[in-house]
Amino acid sequence: MVKICCIGAGYVGGPTMAVIAIKCPAIEVVVVDISKPRIDAWNSDTLPIYEPGLDDVVKACRGKNLFFSTDVEKHVAEADIIFVSVNTPTKTRGLGAGKAADLTYWESAARMIADVSKSDKIVVEKSTVPVKTAEAIEKILTHNSKGINYQILSNPEFLAEGTAIEDLFKPDRVLIGGRETPGGQKAVQALKEVYAHWVPEANIITTNLWSAELSKLAANAFLAQRISSVNAMSALCEATGANVSEVSYAIGKDSRIGPKFLNASVGFGGSCFQKDILNLVYICECNGLPEVANYWKQVIKINDYQKSRFVNRVVSSMFNTVSGKKIAVLGFAFKKDTGDTRETPAIDVCKGLVGDKAQVSIYDPQVTEEQIQRDLAMNKVSVVWDAYEACKGAHGVCILTEWDEFKKLDYQKIFDNMQKPAFVFDGRNVVDAEKLREMGFIVYSIGKPLDGWLKDMPAVA
C-alpha cells in the first residue's frame, strides 16, 4: 500500500489530502501538523476551516484511509510520498522583508525529513514557493542523505477557497514538475498515477521543476492583474458614466479575454495574491529585472488604491466626515463561502473608517468576533451576529463580501431603521441599486454610474 504523508494541515493540506483519500481508497493518507488544536479540530465534528462540501469528504474517509496526527516524525518516516504544504508567508524582517517568501517553515520541514527518513522518498512541494526552491531543498536533503534517494517534485496547488472541493474534484489542470533525469521522471510518473485515479490524463501537465514553480506565481499574478485591470477601469467608469459590469461583459465576450474573473470589487484579498506577487517582484529584482518587478508591483498599487478610494468615497459622500457616525459593515471574509480573513480588504476599509472616528458595526456569517478583533487589533469596533442588528441606527452600510444572503436582505426594513439620509456603499455590486434608490437609499456601487448625490460630492482619488 502506498503511503502518503502531508506536512501542514491548513487550507491546502486538509482539503487536498481529503480528496486524494476519497479518490484513492488503496492509498493511506496521513496529514500531520505541529499545531495540536488544528489536528484536534480535523479529528472532531467541527473542522478547522469552513469549505463547502469538505465535511462530507472528510467524514467519508476519516479513520479508514485518511488520518490526522501530530506524530509528524513517525508518519514522515513511514511515507513513500511526502507533500509539504506548510505556510510560506511574506518575510517581515531581515533581507527581503516585505517581499520575499519566508521559507523558515519549509526549511525546518525539510531538515526534519532528512533527520527521520530511513527509506527513499518523493518530496512534493505543495506550498507556493519561489522559483528554484527545489534546489535548496535538494541540498538540505542530500547533505544528510545517509544513502537515501530523494526526488523533489513541484506540484503547486491551484484551488481557490470557497470552491476548494469542486476545484480539487475537477481541476483545470494538475501540474507536476520534476528533474529531467530517469529518477526524476520515475517520481513524476508515481505522482501522476495518484492523480490519474480521477483526473483525465490530458489535464495532468508535466514540466521541468522551475517551470512548475514559476507557473504557480505566474498564474496568481495574471489572475490578480485581471482584477486590478477591471478595478482601474471601475474608477474611470465612475468618472465617465460608463458601467463596469457592462464593460466587463462586453470585453469578456472576446474569447481571447474570456468572461471569468472580471468582477470589479473593493479590492482583492486572500492569503495568496499579494504575497505571491511580492515574491515575484523580489525574484525579479534579485535577477536584475527592475522593469519587470515594477510592472507587477503596479498590480498591488492599484489594489491599494481601490481600497483607499472606497474609504474616501464613503467619507466624502457623508459630508466629509464619519466621526461619531455608525457604519455597518456587511461581510468581513476576503470572499464569500469562506471564514478566512487573511489580507481581506475589509481590514483596510474598517481601519480607514475607524481612523476617521466612525463607530463600525460588523456582521459576517462565518467569521468569529475573536478573529475580527484580532485582525483589527487597536481599532475599536463592535461585532454582531445579525445583518439587521449591524444596520440598526446606522448612517451608512458598506458591503465588503459578496455573501449570497446580502442579496436577499429586507432592505426596506434596513432603510426604515437607519438614520437619514441612508447610504449603501456596495463594494461587491451585490444589491439592486435601482430598487434601493426607489426606497430612498443613496447608493454607491463600484464602477457604476453615480447617483446625483454622489456626483455633487467632491471628487475622490
Ligand X SMILES: O=c1ccn([C@@H]2O[C@H](COP(=O)(O)OP(=O)(O)O[C@H]3O[C@H](CO)[C@@H](O)[C@H](O)[C@H]3O)[C@@H](O)[C@H]2O)c(=O)[nH]1
Ligand Y SMILES: NC(=O)c1ccc[n+]([C@@H]2O[C@H](COP(=O)([O-])OP(=O)(O)OC[C@H]3O[C@@H](n4cnc5c(N)ncnc54)[C@H](O)[C@@H]3O)[C@@H](O)[C@H]2O)c1
User: Catalytic one among 5, 24, 61, 272?
Assistant: 272
C-alpha to C-alpha distance for 169 and 23, rounded to whole angstroms:
9
Give me the phi and psi of 37, to 5 degrees please: -55, -35
By three-state DSSP, how is residue 375 classified?
A: helix
Amino acid identity, residue 419?
Answer: Q
C-alpha to C-alpha distance for 37 and 33, rounded to whole angstroms:
10
Q: Is 406 in the site for ligand X (CB under 6 A)?
A: no
Cell 526552491 belongs to: 133
For residues 214-233, b (16+ Cβ closer than 10 Å) or e, as one string? bbbbebbbebbbbbbbbbbb
Q: Is 270 in the site for ligand X (CB under 6 A)?
A: yes
Binding region for ligand X (CB under 6 A) out of 16-24, 267-275, 378-386, 451-459: 267-275
Binding region for ligand X (CB under 6 A) out of 102-110, 187-195, 264-272, 377-385: 264-272
Give me the phi and psi of 353, to 5 degrees please: -70, -40
93 is in an annotated binding site: no
Q: DSSP class of residue 334?
A: S
Q: In what helix (H) or strand (E) does residue 230 lie, and over which residues does it extend? A: helix 209-240
285 is in an annotated binding site: no
184 is in an annotated binding site: no
Candidates 281, 284, 305; CA nearest to 228 is 305
Q: DSSP class of residue 164?
A: H
In the complex, the smallest distance separating the C-beta of residue 7 from ligand Y, rounded to whole angstroms, is 5
Cβ atoms within 10 Å of 139's Cβ, excluding its own: 11
By the 8 A CB rule, do 49 and 11 touch? yes
Q: In what helix (H) or strand (E) does residue 158 lie, and over which residues does it extend? A: none
Binding region for ligand X (CB under 6 A) out of 72-80, 249-257, 270-278, 309-317: 270-278
Q: Which of residues 19-78 bind ligand Y (CB under 6 A)?
A: 32-35, 38, 72
Q: Is 102 in the site for ligand Y (CB under 6 A)?
A: no
Query: Of 69 and 316, which has the nearer Cβ to ligand Y?
Result: 69
Give the one residue of 4, 5, 6, 7 binding ligand Y; rule: CB under 6 A.
7
Give the one residue of 10, 14, 130, 269 binding ligand X; rule: CB under 6 A.
269
Q: Is 305 in the site for ligand X (CB under 6 A)?
A: no
Q: Is 220 in the site for ligand X (CB under 6 A)?
A: yes
Query: Of 335 and 395, which has the nearer Cβ to ligand Y?
Result: 335
Q: Is 12 in the site for ligand Y (CB under 6 A)?
A: yes
Give the one residue of 88, 128, 133, 341 binding ligand X; rule: CB under 6 A.
128
Candidates 96, 126, 105, 152; CA nearest to 275 is 96
Q: Is 341 in the site for ligand Y (CB under 6 A)?
A: no
> Rounded to 10 degrees, what is the CA torsion of 97, 101, 102, 104?
-150
Q: Is 105 in the site for ligand Y (CB under 6 A)?
A: yes
Please tell me the total number of residues recorded for the chain in this structure. 461
Q: Is 159 in the site for ligand Y (CB under 6 A)?
A: yes
Query: Of 14 and 396, which has the nearer Cβ to ligand Y?
Result: 14
By the 8 A CB rule, do 54 and 31 touch? no
Is 272 in the active site?
Answer: yes
By the 8 A CB rule, do 306 and 267 touch? yes
158 is in an annotated binding site: no
Q: Which of residues 80-99 bind ligand Y (CB under 6 A)?
A: 85-88
Give the one residue of 4, 6, 10, 188 binding ligand Y; rule: CB under 6 A.
10
DSSP string, 7-52: E--STTHHHHHHHHHHH-TTSEEEEE-S-HHHHHHHTSSS-SS--T
161 is in an annotated binding site: yes
C-alpha to C-alpha distance for 244 and 250, rounded to whole angstroms:
10
Query: Of 21 and 446, which has the nearer Cβ to ligand X?
Result: 446
89 is in an annotated binding site: yes
Binding region for ligand Y (CB under 6 A) out of 157-165, 179-187, 229-237, 260-268: 157-165
Q: Is 272 in the site for ligand Y (CB under 6 A)?
A: yes
284 is in an annotated binding site: no
Query: Of 13 and 171, which has the nearer Cβ to ligand Y?
Result: 13
Chain centroid to CA 138: how far? 28
User: Which positions ≥6 away from 187 have C-beta within 8 Å?
Assistant: 122, 151, 153, 178, 179
- Which of ligand X, ligand Y, none binds 261 (CB below 5-8 Å, type-dependent)? ligand X
Q: DSSP class of residue 43?
A: T
Give the one residue of 169, 198, 210, 261 binding ligand X; rule: CB under 6 A.
261
Binding stretches for ligand X (CB under 6 A): 128, 157-161, 220, 223, 227, 261-263, 265, 268-270, 272-273, 334-335
Annotated binding site for NAD(+), which residues?
Answer: 8-13, 33, 38, 86-90, 127-128, 161, 272-275, 342
Annotated binding site, which residues?
Answer: 8-13, 33, 38, 86-90, 127-128, 161, 272-275, 342
- Catalytic residue set: 272
